[in-house]
Amino acid sequence: MKLYETPSTPNCLRVSLFLAEKGMDIPREIIDVRAGDNLKEDFCKKSVNGLVPTLELDNGDYLCESIAICRYFEEIHPHPALFGQSHLERAQIEMWQRIIELQGIVLIAQAIRNLKQVYKDRENCIEDWGYEALLRFRKILPKIEAQLAAHQYIAGSSFSVADISTFIMLKMASKMEIEIDQQWPSIHRWQKEISQRPAFAALS
The per-residue pLDDT for range 40-49, each reduced to its tens digit, is 999 999 999 9
CA distances from residue 17 to 56, 132, 165, 177 in whole angstroms, order as listed = 18, 30, 10, 23
Domain 2-76: CATH superfamily is Glutaredoxin (3.40.30.10)
> What one-letter code names the amino acid at 109?
A
Burial degree of 87 (CB within 10 A; 0-12, 13-18, 19+): exposed
pTM over 0.85, yes/no: yes
> Going by CATH, does the domain composed of 87-201 fall within 3.30.465.10?
no
Q: Which residues pair with 28 in a beta bridge?
A: 3
- What pLDDT, on the 0 to 100 scale, is given for residue 202? 87
Q: Taking the CB of residue 108, how many other CB atoms lie within 10 A of it?
A: 27
Q: What is the DSSP string of 160-173?
A: -HHHHHHHHHHHHH
- What pLDDT, on the 0 to 100 scale, is given for residue 38? 96
User: Boundaries of CATH 3.40.30.10 in the chain?
Assistant: 2-76
- Ramachandran region, residue 151 (left: φ > 0; alpha: ψ -120 to 50; beta: rest): beta
- What pLDDT, on the 0 to 100 scale, is given for residue 161? 98
User: Boundaries of CATH 1.20.1050.10 in the chain?
Assistant: 87-201
pLDDT mean by block of 10 residues, the chain; 204 residues:
97 98 97 96 97 97 98 98 98 98 98 96 97 98 98 98 98 95 95 96 82
SS3 148: helix
Give the DSSP H/E element, type plus range, for residue 29.
strand 28-30
- What pLDDT, on the 0 to 100 scale, is given for residue 204? 64
Q: Convert 160-170 to b/e letters by CB count within 10 Å (16 or more is b).
A: bbbbbbbbbbb
Start-to-end C-alpha separation, the chain? 28
Greatest pairwise CA separation for the chain in angstroms: 50
